[in-house]
Amino acid sequence: MTFSVTILGSSSALPTSKRFPSAHVLNVHERLFLIDCGEGTQIQLRRFKLPMNRINHIFLTHSHGDHVLGIFGLISTFNLLGRKSDLHVYGVADFEDIFYKNIDYFTDQLSFKVIYHVVDPFKVETIYSDKHVVVTTLPLRHRVPTVGYLLREAPRPLNIRKELIAKYNLSLAEIVKIKNGSDYTLNNGTVIPNAELTYISSLPRSYAYCSDTLYSERLVGLVKNVDLLYHEATFLHSDLRLARLTGHSTAQQAATVALKAGVGKLLIGHFSSRYKNEKDLQREAQEIFPATEVVNDGLTFSVEPKSTY
């Protein structure tokens, strides 16, 4: 089943001819989740042939324009297309009033319901879950309240080891109980632990999105062992003073987070337009964490299932 992220926008505050502002789409089992919605997001969705009607949840990191200005046009387009299904938007409290006022101003009566969920940028908490995915907040350090997101596949159902079905002559009812987590007791009273009877076919895959933020040791622990980490790398480390002044990270710092957290792969983006060659940022990061890739608009990064049996 699919678990991949497509980059819609990879620039920082100033768009370029090649890079739109921040927006990523995560595909979890063919359900799409939009993370940030910079200007032009709906254009990129069409350009990269992503079905926007599958987006029912949008996660915003903070209220700066390069992360949110595209959401009003996207909602207007949803309305013009006659959307009926609810749209859930998650973001910080200081954006809620602006969000609803802009929707009221720029759209006629909506054909669907928009629900804004306020998230606490200082807490780690699960804000959404279904049978496919669990979304947890990641507190970030920026000039305004900012939150990142960890999206992880929901735990898969247990599988019973087929050879044990015949060995213990298990009935259908017993198999169902074991798959639901029960141990199995033999006629002589011996208890067979559930862990010896079952296995998980593959480990849950994970993606962490860490937009505008200063370097954070706390974040290292929160993204421990994720498969795919996106961490902003607005500046080269030679511009560390400017990074600190503006509430951003360097490529070296992003790589340090990835190394300490033991992630599978690091994606870096949100580059300042002052840099004409993103390879310089990539080289700086790869010196610390070799499994680093620069994101470009339109690229898709997939995480393959990790078998456990």
> What residues are annotated to the active site?
66
Token pair 């949840």 is found at: 57
DSSP at 199 = E
Q: How far is CA 257 from the centre of its chain?
A: 17
Q: Give the amino acid at 124.
A: V
118-149 burial: b if 16+ Cβ within 10 Å, else e: ebebeeeeebbeeeebbbbbbbbbbeebbbbb
83-101 burial: b if 16+ Cβ within 10 Å, else e: beeebbbbbbeebeeebee
Q: Comparing C-alpha atoms, which of 23, 101, 36 is closest to residue 62?
A: 36
Q: How far apart are CA 62 and CA 211, in angstroms?
A: 9
Q: How far is CA 295 from CA 115, 156, 229, 253, in A?
A: 31, 30, 12, 17
Q: At what angle do helices 70-80 and 96-106 cross, to 10 degrees?
A: 40
